[in-house]
Structure 1
Amino acid sequence: MGKNAEGTLKERLSALQAEQRRAERRRRIVMISATVITAAGMAAAATAFVLDDRAGRALDAVQTINVSSRNHTDKVVSYPQAPPVGGDHAPEWQNCGIYSKPLRNENVVHSQEHGAVWIAFQPGLPKDQLDILYKQAQGRDFVVLSPYTGLSAPVVLSAWGKQLKLDDADDPRLTAFLRANINGPGTPEPGASCSGGIGEPSA
């Protein structure tokens, strides 16, 4: 074999080896990136699961209350809870949505019978807390949000036969409660209308 041919062969061999080394480096980079992305995804999923699990387990604090009667009445009803969690109620239900003034118990209880959750908050609640509640309620079906005079906690969530008191609107149990109790298993008339009743919500 001539010197020129031998040199050309060595150059080709060297180029081939260099290309193999580059391909191996690219393969390693892809594997490392995939590992990092997978690990990050698993960590995010684990975090979400832990937060959701904590919120779910924290719903052990929800009060379950037996509601024995749900007749229509035009009279003022004396409810054992404030806000109420069911019972006799007005023939007209409260339209779901956001309200800036206190509502009549008897009308909202009728909405609860249809599957609504009542998010009641203390008048004078700080704006940052109100903003959180508005974001939770806005555009969401079967939620009534309103101030409630004499509330025993900053925020109280009430569905038919269920109630949870919160010190902070940013408590993850709020979302968990809504998910569990909007048209929840204890709803007497799940899916019945939450519009076409009385009241003009702002949102």
Structure 2
Amino acid sequence: MTPSPDDKRKSGNPATQAKIDLTVKQQREQKRQEKLAEYQKQLAKRKRSKLVWWIVGSTAAVLVVAAIVASIVFAPAPAPSYARGNSDGSSIEGVETFENTANHVEGDVEYPQTPPAGGDHNAYWLNCGVYTEPVPNVNAVHSLEHGAVWITYDPAQVSGDDIAKLEDALPSTYTLLSPYEGMDSPIAVTAWNAQLKLDSADDERIEEFIKAYWNSTNAPEPNAACTGAVNAPGKK
């Protein structure tokens, strides 16, 4: 008859039985220690996992905040905003005023002012915005008829930072900016039948002129659109 495990743990010799009992206790203690070690290992793992996620979450939060701050700090300045101009600008030093016709014609037109400050023009206006190449006079003049202000600069005399300053002076619509070769001044600011010629992009009269004539109700066609028509090459 095969002895049972309990039988194997028993001995008639007290000393031998004591060793058996000690061995069983040691095995139980060892198992208990192993379970305790495994529990502590799992607990430490969970703590490390929480710490990793906390670090990841904190880093992500810091990055989000940094991105928001950077977007605020480094975002381009918004375009200036002006009330609708209803002035004739006569009080601005250096402003010239003219009398021009406003007929729709085909083909090129010879204008008495350079750049033109009104006159007959193409039936399609030039979409307002910034252009890096010269634009057609006949379309730009139609934009003036709608109340746009057109800033032109001689690329032989104005470049780099000064062009950027002119662009920064523009409201978001009803303005044109483009190079214009052969002008007798570095910069000209033009509205319908009004023009101001300047030597510097820092001249405070640029802002004064825009305030006086921008989207003016005195233009021949106030409230007409400055988008939805013709783009010229070089539009940004």
**TM-score normalized with structure 1 length:** 0.68
Residues 1-203 of structure 1 aligned to structure 2 (within 5 Å): 59-67=92-100, 69-124=101-156, 125-137=158-170, 140-199=172-231, 202-203=235-236
**Counterpart amino acid of 2:108?**
V
How far residue 133 of structure 1 moved from its aligned partner, in angstroms, is 0.8
User: Counterpart of 1:107 in 2: which secondary structure?
Assistant: helix
CA distance in 2, matches of 1:111, 1:165: 19
**Is the CA contact 1:58–1:173 (under 8 Å) kept in the aligned structure 2?**
no
Q: How many positions carry a matched residue from both structures? A: 146
Contact kept? 2:131, 2:178, Cα under 8 Å: yes
SS in 1 for 2:152: strand
Q: Which amino acid aligns with 1:181?
A: Y
3-state SS, counterpart of residue 60 of structure 1:
coil
- In structure 2, relative to structure 1, the CA distance for the partners of 1:183 and 1:202 (3 Å cut) is same
Residues 161 and 186, structure 1, Cα contact 8 Å, conserved in 2: no
1:127-148: CA deviation from partner (whole Å, max 9, x where unpaired): 11111011112x5210000000
Equivalent residue letter for 1:106: V
For the residue of structure 1 that corresponds to 2:93, the secondary structure is helix
Question: How far has the Cα of 1:75 moved from its partner?
Answer: 1.9
8 Å contact kept, 1:122–1:153: yes
Pairwise CA distance, 1:126: 2.6
Give the 3-state SS of the residue equivalent to 2:151 in structure 1. strand
Q: Quick one: distance in 1 between partners of 2:218 and 2:187?
A: 22
Consecutive unaligned residues of structure 2, counting only runs of 5 or more, are 1-88
Is the contact made by 1:86 and 1:109 (CA closer than 8 Å) also made in structure 2? yes
Runs ≥4 in structure 1, deviation > 3 angstroms? 200-203
Provide the C-alpha distance between the structure 1 equivalents of 2:139 and 2:202, rounded to a whole number of angstroms.
27
Asked whether the equivalents of residues 147 and 217 of structure 2 are also in contact (C-alpha less than 8 Å), the reply is: no
Q: CA deviation at 1:185?
A: 4.6
Decide whether the 8 Å contact of 2:174 with 2:226 is kept in 1: yes
Structure whose alpha-carbon radius of gyration is higher: 2
Distance 2:199 2:217 in 1: 26
Q: Please report how far the alpha carbon of residue 58 of structure 1 lies from its aligned counterpart in structure 2 after TM superposition.
A: 6.4
RMSD, aligned α-carbons: 1.7
